[in-house]
Amino acid sequence: MRVGKWQFKPSLWPTLVTLVLLMILVLLGLWQLRRADYKRALLAQYQQASVLPPVSVNQALDSGGFDALGRYRHVVMQGRYDSAHQLLLDDMQEGEQVGYQVLTPLVLEPGQQILLVNRGFIARVPGIKTLPDVHVDSGNRSVSGVLSILPVPGIRLGKTTAPVGWPKLMLYPSYQNLAHIYGDNLLKPVLLLDAAQADGFVRDWQPNIGFPPVRHDAYALQWFALAVALFIIWIVVNSKRIKHE
């Protein structure tokens, strides 16, 4: 193809390779945009749920409406802690400190359903291998908090196995891992215990979304910029100036 004093004549294989790379770069940019939209939706859901009045989990279970309670919904419930069967989530981070998050089963009446309550963060003491004392009174109580999910790793490698004994020290267990431990009565959400509630540890709960949406927008812009640069290079490399005698 000739345009003025320039002739554009792309060869086959470099063109095919360029098209594949362009497709990959554009798809990566679109994926980053979708991640940004997803995290904006989570933040909006958190803001909307924070202004709603608390819902009774016990009543929601009796009426069959528990599954309709969304993530970040503020709830209250009555039950008793099962102090003998607690979990410590290892390698958790709070600011600059590394330590454990304490998950305590709350047995709800009268159906004996179990909701895991995240009672907060305990820093690990360097050089001390003994697990912290997380005992809690097992009497009936009212508990309030926000429904959330288990912490998830960036990449899950292999299977998580439960150690022998209690409390169990585990690294990023899945719901399936915990259902194998606690049985079919385990409810899927995890409750983030309110900061004003007793028998908790460090609780500075924030929506755990990883990178903020603007970071994903910036990554998307980078991928699209690389795609444009590659396209321009492809044009320049395959264009030659026509020399006249």
Percent of the chain with pLDDT over 70: 93
**Reported confidence tier of residue 95, pLDDT bands at 50, 70, 90:** confident
Round to whole Å and give the CA distance between 196 and 200.
Answer: 9
Whole-angstrom distance, CA of residue 74 vs CA of residue 63 = 18
Q: Average model confidence (pLDDT) for the chain?
A: 90
**Inter-CA distances, 204 with 1, 19, 55, 186, Å:** 64, 48, 22, 25
The answer, yes or no, to whether residue 103 has pLDDT greater than 80, is yes
* Domain ranges within the chain, ordered by starting residue: 2-37+212-241, 73-193
pLDDT tens for each residue of 12-44: 888 999 999 999 999 999 999 999 999 999 888
Give pLDDT, residue 6.
67
Q: DSSP assignment, residue 197?
A: S
What per-residue confidence (pLDDT) applies to 185?
Answer: 93
What residues form DSSP beta bridges with 169? 88
pLDDT band at 49 (very low <50, low <70, confident <90, very high): confident
Q: What is the pTM of this model?
A: 0.75
Q: Does the structure show a pLDDT above 80 at 142? A: yes
pLDDT band at 155 (very low <50, low <70, confident <90, very high): low
Q: Please indicate whether residue 238 or residue 196 has the higher confidence score (pLDDT).
A: 196
Length of the chain, please? 245
CA-CA distances (angstroms) from residue 77 to 54, 81, 91, 118? 10, 12, 29, 14
Confidence at residue 230, expressed as pLDDT on a 0 to 100 scale: 95
Say which range, 5-19, 150-164, 211-225, has the weakest mean pLDDT.
150-164
Identify whether the C-beta of residue 73 lies closer than 8 Å to the C-beta of residue 156: no
Q: Could you report the per-residue pLDDT of 156-169, keeping only the tens digit for each?
A: 666 667 778 899 99
Tell me what percent of the residues of the chain surpass a pLDDT of 90. 64
Query: Confidence band (pLDDT; 50, 70, 90) for 154?
Result: low
Check: CB of residue 116 under 8 Å from CB of residue 178. Answer: yes
CA distance 245 to 4: 16
User: Per DSSP, which regions of the chain are E strands?
Assistant: 2-3, 6-8, 55-56, 74-81, 87-94, 97-108, 114-123, 140-148, 168-170, 186-193, 239-241
pLDDT above 60: residue 113? yes
- pLDDT of 54: 92
- Name the nearest CA neighbour of 30 among 238, 228, 219: 219
Q: Positive or negative, the Cα torsion across 35, 89, 138, 197?
A: negative
